[in-house]
Amino acid sequence: MFCRLGYFFIFLIYCFNSAAHSVAVDTSSNAKLLTEVYVRANSGLKGSGSLVDFDGVRIMASKKSEVILLGKLDANFANQSFRQVFGRTPGLHVIESDPSGFNTSIAIRGLSTNRSWDFNMRQNGYDITPDPMGYNEAYYTPSLEWVEKIEIVRGAAALQYGPQVGGLINYILEKPIFDKKFGGEGQQTFGSFGLNSSLIKARYGAKKFAFIASHQFRGGNGFRPNSDFDSNQSYFRIDWKPFAHGLFSFELTKANGLAQLAGGLSEAQYIADPMASNRSRNYFSSHWLMPVVKFNFNRKQNLTYQFQIFALKSGRTQLGFTKQNDVLDVPNSLGNYANRVLDRDEYTSYGGEMRAGLNAFQQQLQSSFGLRLFSGNMVRDQQGLATNGSTYNEQLLESNFPRSLNFVNQNFALFMENSISISPKFKLTGGLRYEFIRSKGHGLLGVNVPFLTPDRQRSFMLWGLGASYKPLSTLEIFGNLSQSYRPISFSDLVPAATTDVVDGSLKDSQSLNFDMGLRGRNGNFLRYDISFYLLQFSDRIGNISRKNTNGTSYLFRSNLGNSTSQGLELYVEIDPIVALFEKSNFGNISLFIALGLNNSVYKDFPLSSGENLSGKKIENAPQQILRSGLTYTYKRLTFTYQISQTSASFSDAQNTLKPNDSGLIGQIPSYTLADASFTFRYRKHWLFRGSVNNINNITYFTRRGTGAYPGYGILPAAPRNISFTTGFTF
């Protein structure tokens, strides 16, 4: 099926491009390389483009990449509507169960949706997760009202950014502008379920000095009882040009969030009332502080350097009644509630990265190389006995946490990638990345139960190859093959029970990612990106049952099995008015479709029960994700209507169809949603934006929780909700 669809779209695009005219490109020594070019034309096209082949320090030729320009979208940015923001990104699976928008849980190609941990998550090019090598979970997401664009590079990003199998997600925030008088911006949003978001932003730029500062407060009641949230995020950046070819930057991001967790529902509870909640005393809190210093230098036109030193001081806390959903949180006969459990993580990490780019022989050779140093420390305190109150309170009734663990990770990496132009139309890329990781853990698993992992040191080499062929200036055929891996997480090293055993030779899971496709555009009326992929995942970590010498069974955690994902990712957007009439006096319409077809299965994976998962579908991996819609543009008004269809998926590796009573396992049904948004800019200073999400008020869910946080069982998604934003720029 994938191949037939692919041949059809390739033929269609070839017909469109057969009439295209080539554009002469000046490749003389006097030509200047532009790092980024955005063309504004009389067209309704709003979709994403791809990253340039070489921007001075990064090689993106032959890679599957996307750039989402948020200024061109209509969406509910105030409350982090990722379904709308990623609406034109084919195959991206969005988990929707968090009313607060604190965490981004997205995945591609059958990978894990758990807080996006299969992506290398960055902001302005630096890490926003505590430890990409040991605890790569995104508990912070920048306010989308700050974000100028989002860069997405699929698996081939591993060579230049890190080992994560899914690739790179990089939030690029608005930057200061030199020689710009003092100004600013304010936005106020109100919406359903008590949504209240306030944004204030200030900018200033002189000849050698510029800054931007912003703060966003966001709060609401959530769409279920017991799901209130408050978020405060601040961002500051100052740029200084001491000389013509150098730029110093300092960035500081601070974020604090507190959310009440409504918990999960059993099957019967969900059927009776999908918006119900049986938890009123559960909370999640996080704090994030990220200072970064950067220096860019490009004295010679063909040689560019970038240096950055970054640090992260952060943490998260979970407090609540941790029993499964069949146990109600009610007072006893004396009128007292049970004591709650407090879990707390604190993360401290710092590091530095250097990148350099060379553009030589009249752009015939382009090189990117760099190094990374990183040190991360996590202190995890769990199972603390907390108060029996109903408000957020970190007070402990005992002096110590029964479980107290400390994990340390150190990472050193080197990479180099080259792009060689064999001819004006054909380009080859290739590169290597060397990784060295040292990790260790110690502490207490429980009272008087020591925990100590050996000093684990491992090193390995990743490689990648790619090719790009441009028969026309508007058409590119590309392909790449690259290695990546999923590092052993800290949780993999901690046995679930004191009798369990972790394999002393446990190793990182390996992957091989292949992409092949074509992309391009025709005039101002057609943009497309179609590709096939194959992802092979080996050495997946799991548990298997064993017996010791006295016949007692225990779980042994080791590298057990393999999986394969393959499919099609397609994006097409067309402006029929421009295509037929070249211009319009009544506005423009763009029609878009973003389709992801995915088949992710286990190849060989033995379980502790004796069962083998071979042939089973990977959990939380829909086989089809289709988003389509239209955008109408007239002068300063834009309106977007989007339909999102996601097919059914399984919540467990055994592919259980019939849900159990608790709702922890079972199929996740398919769902179809409709969203509508508009943006209107009045004169120079005023902005009005509105959004209606889940127009038809569909009842659906995207996740079955398997732990106390955010909850056991079904985690419902949002019903119909409305938001309206007023903004003023000065």
Of 311, 262, 250, 253, nearest in space to 286 by CA: 253
Q: Assess whether pLDDT exceeds 50 at residue 541.
A: yes
Q: Assess whether pLDDT exceeds 90 at residue 691.
A: yes
Cα–Cα distance between 484 and 479 in angstroms, integer?
16
Q: Extract the tokens encoding 149.
A: 């664009």
Q: pTM to 2 decimals? A: 0.92
For 405-426, write each residue's pLDDT tens digit: 999 999 999 999 999 999 999 9
> What is the architecture, at CATH level 2, of domain 2-16+40-729?
Beta Barrel (2.40)
Residue-by-residue DSSP string for 380-391? EEEEEEB-S-SS
- Mean pLDDT of the region 168-173: 97
pLDDT of residue 510: 93
Task: Count CB-CB contacts under 10 A for residue 325.
Answer: 25
Helices (H) and strands (E) in the chain, counts: 6, 35
Q: Extract the tokens encoding 37.
A: 């070019």
Cα–Cα distance between 319 and 381 in angstroms, integer?
12
Per-residue confidence band for 9, with pLDDT thresholds at 50, 70 and 90:
very low
Per-residue confidence band for 43, with pLDDT thresholds at 50, 70 and 90:
low
Q: Assess whether pLDDT exceeds 90 at residue 46.
A: no
For 545-572, write each residue's pLDDT tens digit: 888 878 777 888 899 889 999 999 999 9
Whether residue 79 contacts residue 191, with contact meaning beta carbons closer than 8 Å, is answered with yes
pLDDT of residue 102: 85
**Residue found by looking up tokens 């002096």 in the block:** 399
Residue-by-residue DSSP string for 110-130? T---GGGTTEEEEETTEE-SS
Burial classification of residue 646, based on how many CB atoms lie within 10 Å of its CB (0-12 exposed, 13-18 middle, 19 or more buried): buried
Phi, psi angles (nearest 5°) of residue 400: -125, 155
Q: Where are the beta strands (DSSP E) in 487-525?
A: 501-502, 509-522
pLDDT of residue 491: 87
Is the four-CA dihedral 155, 156, 160, 163 of positive or negative sign? positive
Phi, psi angles (nearest 5°) of residue 717: -100, 175
Phi, psi angles (nearest 5°) of residue 99: -65, -25
> Bridge partners of 602?
563
